[in-house]
Structure 1
């Protein structure tokens, strides 16, 4: 004789059985993780980090002719949301709130200054310099000051994280943070500050060498 429960179980769609199995497996894994965190078991199941990295290899050496004239520190909040079609956020999808902190340098490339860009009068009391405009370097994200505020993930995403190790899990938000920091640097007036600092430095240097009239312009 078939019980009502047995009849009900036999009529359950296949996807319901799969989902029920996944939920049960997830509950068991969570219980195991909580068990590991109980007092007295931490020493038994604890992890230990060891640095087994090899020595750093020198790939190349490059002479630098840039004068780093200014540096800007920036901070941006990245809110990245990923949704899956035809699935609710509770099952598949993620949203990450990330605070990215980094810096951008502004420099004047003195290596591009040609001989015709420097003019000195016969008495060596007047000097005219034509320099290239200041440029922005690549944004540098500071990992010590950047961090994820919150991460919301669907059930399938959390299960995937349990069975796989993804060291680049925050790569997408980090790239967005770098891009936003670079955009902010373009609007910050950092290059103008770099040119003003370069002018002040060169004027002080040339006047210390005896030049009374120093003129510095930027072009190109």
Structure 2
């Protein structure tokens, strides 16, 4: 992890970064709690499909693949969120130390971790499902549906949180307290920064 070897900045930057990390982890825990309940309900419906529609090729194996797809998507999201929140202060320190080139180097490295984790975890999960169930297309489709469903909920939930935190921070800061946007004196700025990461 080249990103984690970079200088995280001064004590204040590290402190703010840790607050953003804690907020992002709290968001993910809450989001995954609700999404997992929904995934298990859908998986139960998929497993019960042969009872109501015997001609449909969905079964318990598709249901297991659906859960594995959702799990793979959640793991990729957690890895990406974890590295993104750690890369923030390091990108800022990279700008201080090396200007635009230093900041861009850290930012691209942090972003590439997310891309590679999505591809790596997804392919690993797909290979496991393919080997477990002998490559039956309907079962592999269950894996894809599970991964897509969790990704959709993560994207939607993150977007809603982002906009809510942004509007809340702006209203409290500008309207009520009369301080500029993204001012460190506004405690809601931490929620706004968490929203920027989860959205």
TM-score (norm 2): 0.30
Larger Rg over CA atoms: 1
- Structure with more contact order per residue of length (Cα contacts < 8 Å, sep ≥ 6): 2
> Quick check: which one's strand share is greater?
1
> Quick check: which one's helix share is greater?
2
